[in-house]
Amino acid sequence: MKKLSARRRHPLAAVVVLLLALAATGGLYAAFAPADKAQADDTAQSLAIDEGKKLYAVGCSSCHGTGGQGSSDGPSLVGVGAAAVDFQVGTGRMPLQQQGAQAPKKKVIYNQAQIDQLAAYISSLGAGPSVPTEKQYNPDGADIAKGGELFRTNCAQCHNFTGEGGALTHGKFAPSLEGVSPKHIYEAMQTGPQNMPSFPDTTMPEKEKKDIIAYLDAVNGEKTQSPGGLKLGGLGPVSEGLFGWIFGLGSLIAVAVWVAARTAKAKKS
Amino acid sequence: MSSQEIPEENLPSKQVTEPEHGSVAVADENPFADPGLPPHQHRIQDIDERAAKRSERAIAFMFMLSMLATVGFIAAFVTIPADKSVFIWPIGHISGLNFALGMTLGLALFCIGAGAVHWARTLMSDVEVADERHPIEAEPEVRAKVMADFKAGAEESQFGRRKLIRNTMFGALALVPLSGVVLLRDLGPLPEDKLRHTKWAKGKKLVNMNTHEPLRPSDVQVGSLTFAMPEGMSEHDHDFQTQIAKAALMIVRIQPENIKDKRELEWSHEGVVAYSKICTHVGCPISLYEQQTHHVLCPCHQSTFDLSDGARVIFGPAGHALPQLRIGVNEEGYLEALGDFEEPVGPAFFERG
């Protein structure tokens, strides 16, 4: 102790104290910081961020700005989270082909590894919802009836009662949910892509999201039965009535005209 | 054709003067005489007995087919399981039972109709028959007798002489329909002030319709959409649908600096705003919320409301803005109503003012 105290006026003492303080702060931070923040220092993760940054600079920065801060052509991506990237890029909505009312679903141009790298970069810009795990969105064993109730309360107004989609204002629309993977449905509810409102876990817990996915799988999935056939878009009584009036009544009128136009006389005039 | 379009020399008044000039000899017979029916044309079945037999067989075949289809309908109903799915081109996978029942019943009905039409067209008599019209007016003496009888009856009843009876009878006849009018009152209780009030009241917590838990301001994120009902309501209440039809609430969060309406900002809590979910046009539930524009669209008639500007109507037939619920936070940190809606929710009514 005496030795230490003797050198306290040494020209390098300040530097040593500073280094010690820095090490202590860093050590304490590493020990107490939240686990996900600690993961950010992982080498694989920072590699993914670097790769994602490169992909971002090529494919996204012209609209969303070089640092994801947004521009007049695209919103800021700070804080949207990995789930938003995985949804937008994973369904082909991004990168945008052209500016318009709404980005439509199209061919996916990045592979899943690249999407993960982009997501890693974007989530490094600001905290946001992360990509859900299989356990979170897998609808096995979920309550389909409860999901139906939740779907009708929260989703059916735009997406139609069996998820067939519907129109909104000025060329915007709620897309059909047929063939959308459970992961993407989950991410859409979590992040609220484009004009869709989000349904965060605070107002719609994970279990309820699962119930909704199970309901959609039951009424609009691959194995959904359509006992009547010809569901005419599943839009409800309006399309069915219109079909009945135009084609049903139309064919009756056509038969009546055909019967009356042909004479039964022996001498055709 | 109106009279203006007839050339002047062809007008009837001009035509009768023509024979006086002696230039044109007018034929005696009426130029507009009824030409009568064209000669009757026979059908092949009227001439050829073998063709008639063929028709008979065709009609009988259709009726028989109808009978078979009905038997098939019953057989399908009995034998095909209700949940069996079959693939039928071009419809795809459908219920086999539905398909069989529809096809057989359709065939049975169609064959009866087709057989009847073929029968009427080929075998039933198609000779044209003219039925002459005659005046519907009664003979003058019959009419005179009816009028005389009526007058005698009126005289005998003393209807004209005893004015008291006549007037009281008119009174009785005029009043009796009132019973029917009064009975209309029983069509339902008067709404009284039910249209002006909802279940919301001061201090009632906003309960999330998904989780049935009271909401905290931090639960509601910018861009999210949440539906709420007043605390103390349950889906199992006998009048739940009646009450939620007025009390349904949608909750969104808008950055306070983006709220254009001063009253809206004042009635919100840290940007959390609560609006009635019932369209002010004809009362459809509306919640087609676009989170980037803060517009809410009604799916029934496309009324559009701007939630960032006092839910003002920006498009469509709705007459007034969506009513806003004034909210705050109670001491436990939950969102609560600071009163009922200030104005009636839903569509306008006559006494709304």
B22 within domain boundaries: no
User: What does the alpha-carbon distance between residue B272 and residue A203 come to, in Å, rounded to a whole number?
Assistant: 14
Q: Name the closest residue on chain A to residue B221, using Cα atoms.
A: A200
Domain containing residue A106: 39-125
B317 within domain boundaries: yes
pLDDT band at residue A100 under the 50/70/90 scheme? confident
Please tell me the predicted confidence (pLDDT) of residue B11: 52
- Contact: B289, A197; criterion CB under 8 Å: yes
- Contact: A229, B47; criterion CB under 8 Å: no
B210–chain A nearest CA distance, Å:
6
B242 within domain boundaries: yes
Q: What percent of chain A has pLDDT over 90?
A: 46
**Of the partner residues B94, B208, B293, the one whose CB lies closest to the CB of residue A226:** B94
B318 within domain boundaries: yes
pLDDT tens digit string along B102-116?
A: 999 999 999 999 999
Tell which of A78, A149, A157 to mutate to test the B interface (max B CBs under 10 Å).
A157
A62 and A115 together in one domain: yes
Please tell me the predicted confidence (pLDDT) of residue B18: 46
- Contact: A198, B291; criterion CB under 8 Å: yes
pLDDT tens digit string along A183-211?
A: 999 999 999 998 999 999 999 999 999 99
Ranking A124-138, A218-232, B127-141, B144-158 by mean pLDDT, the lowest is: A218-232
Please tell me the predicted confidence (pLDDT) of residue A42: 58
For chain B, the distance separating the N- and C-terminal CA atoms, rounded to the nearest angstrom, is: 55
A44–chain B nearest CA distance, Å:
32
Please tell me the predicted confidence (pLDDT) of residue B25: 56
A8 within domain boundaries: no
Number of domains within chain B: 2
The CATH number of whichever domain residue B233 belongs to comes to: 2.102.10.10
Q: Name the closest residue on chain B to residue A260, using Cα atoms.
A: B121
- Within B135-201, where are the H helices? 140-157, 163-175, 177-183
Please tell me the predicted confidence (pLDDT) of residue A26: 83
A110 within domain boundaries: yes
- Contact: B224, A200; criterion CB under 8 Å: yes
A111 within domain boundaries: yes
- Contact: B223, A225; criterion CB under 8 Å: no
| pLDDT of A73 higher than 90 | no
A31 within domain boundaries: no
Kindly report the backbone phi and psi dihedral angles of residue A10, in degrees, each rounded to the nearest multiple of 5, phi listed first.
Answer: -60, 140
CA B89 to chain centroid: 35
Provide CB contacts within 8 A for A107, sequence distance 6+: A92
Please tell me the predicted confidence (pLDDT) of residue A18: 85
A44 and A121 together in one domain: yes
B313 within domain boundaries: yes
* Cis preceding-peptide flag for B12 (omega within 30 of 0): no
B212 within domain boundaries: yes
Neighbouring C-beta atoms of residue A38, cutoff 10 Å: 13
Burial class of B274 by CB neighbour count within 10 A (0 to 12, 13 to 18, 19+): buried
Interface predicted TM-score (ipTM) of this complex, two decimals: 0.75
User: What is the full DSSP assignment across A167-230?
Assistant: E-STT-EEPP-TT--HHHHHHHHHH--TTSPB--TTTS-HHHHHHHHHHHHHHHSTT---TTS-
A196 within domain boundaries: yes
Question: Residues B67, B73, B79, CA angle at the centre, nearest 5°?
Answer: 135
B212 and B295 together in one domain: yes
Q: Name the closest residue on chain B to residue A205, using Cα atoms.
A: B211
User: What does the alpha-carbon distance between residue B57 and residue B63 come to, in Å, rounded to a whole number?
Assistant: 10
A168 within domain boundaries: yes
Domain containing residue B299: 197-337
Q: What is the mean pLDDT of residues A148-153?
A: 93
Give chain B's residues under pLDDT 70: 1-28
Number of domains within chain A: 2
B348–chain A nearest CA distance, Å:
23
- Contact: A203, B218; criterion CB under 8 Å: no
* Cis preceding-peptide flag for B7 (omega within 30 of 0): no
Q: What is the mean pLDDT of residues A172-179?
A: 91
Please tell me the predicted confidence (pLDDT) of residue B4: 47
- Within A126-181, where are the H helices? 134-137, 144-154, 156-159
Neighbouring C-beta atoms of residue A164, cutoff 10 Å: 19
Contacts of B92 in chain A (CB under 8 A): 226, 229
Please tell me the predicted confidence (pLDDT) of residue B272: 95
Please tell me the predicted confidence (pLDDT) of residue B17: 46
Does residue A197 belong to the interface with chain B, where contact is any CB pair within 8 Å?
yes
A105 and A153 together in one domain: no
A157 within domain boundaries: yes
Query: Under a CB-based contact definition with an 8 Å cutoff, are residues B246 and B277 in contact?
Result: no
User: What does the alpha-carbon distance between residue A102 and residue A173 come to, in Å, rounded to a whole number?
Assistant: 8
Contacts of B117 in chain A (CB under 8 A): 259
CA B37 to chain centroid: 46
A253 within domain boundaries: no
Q: What is the mean pLDDT of residues A71-86?
A: 90
| pLDDT of A51 higher than 70 | yes
Burial class of A161 by CB neighbour count within 10 A (0 to 12, 13 to 18, 19+): middle
For chain A, give the mean pLDDT: 87
For residue B296, give both structure tokens: 């809410």
Please tell me the predicted confidence (pLDDT) of residue B189: 83
Q: What is the mean pLDDT of residues A47-71?
A: 90
The CATH number of whichever domain residue A202 belongs to comes to: 1.10.760.10
A92 and A151 together in one domain: no
A105 and A181 together in one domain: no
Q: Give bridge partners of residue B329 from the DSSP assignment.
A: B335
B273 within domain boundaries: yes
- From the list A150, A147, A180, the residue with the least C-alpha distance to A164 is A180
Report which of residues A176 and B12 the model is more confident about: A176
A98 and A56 together in one domain: yes
- From the list B100, B344, B167, the residue with the least C-alpha distance to A227 is B100
Question: Residues B141, B146, B152, CA angle at the centre, nearest 5°?
Answer: 125
| pLDDT of A99 higher than 80 | yes
For chain A, the distance separating the N- and C-terminal CA atoms, rounded to the nearest angstrom, is: 130
